[in-house]
Structure formats: structure tokens, C-alpha cells
Amino acid sequence: LPDESGVVTLDACIMDGVGHRAGSVAFLRNIRNPISVARKVMDTTRHVLLAGDGALQFARQNGFPEQDLLTDAARQRWLEWKRGLNPNDNLLDQSHDTVTMLCLDRAGNLAGACSTSGLAMKIHGRVGDSPILGAGLYLDNQVGAAGATGVGELVLRTLASFTVVEFMRQGMRPSEACRAAFERMCEKIPEARHPQEALIAIDKRGEVGCATNTGDFTFYYGDGERVQRTKPTPIA
């Protein structure tokens, strides 16, 4: 879904545990797979984060095709929202579409990525947690990896993914660390209990965990042979 001016803008970031490398793009338009642009930033530049027109120019220069990302269904939804026709619209709860992926390879190295169009009907120019290292995604190859989805402002204000990784460094298991970071978020920002939020983590040994306050969150775990789908029990 687009922002309040009807433009789809994307945020994404990627991290490679080997070398603690990262690339990220924010407020990027017209490119279907922002995560690939983030990877290009990581692999081919000396920078970490490109934003807005500069990120688009970089994508163009690297041969990414441009396209209008607003689908007919999304345009319809935006028009309805603009006309105020939908009494159930709740900007905090609609359309969390972030995909966050954490990986551990056979050699024990971690990688992670997260990609999103962010909150629907956000203010034009708004950047969420997803392209910000430590907020939407963070990993430390010696410890583990973590990622967040949900209302990005809450994740940004508490650097939730960084917090999860640091809790794992202190010895917590991934699910414990996610829960503790979630509790930290709620302690600092009490309203964090209500809007949708979810944290996921994997540690160096391959143990995974998550914490969420919503029953809508789906978590997939794959071990190379099978994929397991879980709907975690929301914490209060």
C-alpha cells in the first residue's frame, strides 16, 4: 500500500555476518526489489545507507528496471482511505507487510534481510525501522541475529533488534531475548502493547525464537529440508 500521497515507497536492509557488512535503502520508489538494491549498496559501495532520489539514481545506474508499484487494488484502497469511506481504517494496525529473514549457513555464518513498503498511508518521506541497522534488523556473527516487524516508530525508539542480540550475548535464549526486548519496549513506551509488533531471532547454534503481541503474526522456520509454519501465542 502507498503513502498518504499515493506513492509506494520502500525500505530495506541486508546484513552479512562475515565482515559485519551491511547495505540499506530508504524511501526508495519504483524499484520492485529494494533488497537487491540494498545488497548492491553493501557489495559495491563504501556506504551503508542510500535514501530517496539518490537511492533511485543508484538503482537506475545499476540496471534495476523502474516500474509503477501501485497496483489497482492498492490505488482503490488509497482512494477509499482518502475519501474517508472506510470507518474501520486504523493507520496503526493496517497492512504490516514487512518480510524479515534470518539465516545461518552450514559454516555457522549469519545473514539477514528485511524489506517493506512500511506503514500504509504514512506521511510522504517517512522512513521506518526496516532500513535502520539495530532497529528492523541486526546481527552479530559471534552471537545471533534478530529482526522486527510492526509499527516501526516503536522499534526505532528502542532499537529492538539490537536489544535482542545484546540479550542473547548476555546468555538468553532467542525466545527469551525476544520477550525481554519486547518487555523493554513496553516498559519505555506503554502503548507498544497494542499496535502489532513482532520480534524474531536465531542464535549461533541455530535455535530460533520470537515474541509478538498479535495473533496475526506468522513465523516460518526452515532447516534446508522442511519448512515449519508457526503462529506464536501472543504475549499480553
In this structure, what C-alpha cell is assigned to residue 120? 500504509
Nearer to ligand ASP, 11 or 203 (CB): 11
Nearer to ligand ASP, 96 or 141 (CB): 96
Residue 128 contacts ligand ASP per CB under 6 A: yes
Residue 3 contacts ligand ASP per CB under 6 A: no
Give the bridge partners for 16, in sequence order: 21, 111
Site string for ligand ASP, 71-110 (x = CB under 6 A): -------------------------xxx------------
25 and 51 Cβ atoms separated by less than 8 Å? yes
22 and 42 Cβ atoms separated by less than 8 Å? yes
- The residue from 9, 30, 115, 116 that contacts ligand ASP (CB under 6 A) is 116
CB of 100 to ligand ASP, least distance (A): 8
- The residue from 8, 37, 38, 119 that contacts ligand ASP (CB under 6 A) is 119
Nearer to ligand ASP, 141 or 149 (CB): 149
| Cα–Cα distance list, 6 to 55, 69, 95, 119 (Å) | 19, 10, 15, 13
- The residue from 2, 34, 144, 152 that contacts ligand ASP (CB under 6 A) is 152
Size of the chain, expressed as the number of residues it contains: 236
Helices (H), 8-143: 34-44, 52-61, 72-83
Radius of gyration of the chain (CA): 17
Active-site annotation holder among 98, 100, 149, 158? 98
Amino acid identity, residue 44? T
Is 98 known to be catalytic?
yes
- The residue from 12, 14, 102, 151 that contacts ligand ASP (CB under 6 A) is 151
182 and 190 Cβ atoms separated by less than 8 Å? no
In this structure, what C-alpha cell is assigned to residue 76? 482503490
Give the bridge partners for 103, in sequence order: 111
Residue 130 contacts ligand ASP per CB under 6 A: yes
Residue 195 contacts ligand ASP per CB under 6 A: no
Q: Which residues are catalytic?
A: 98
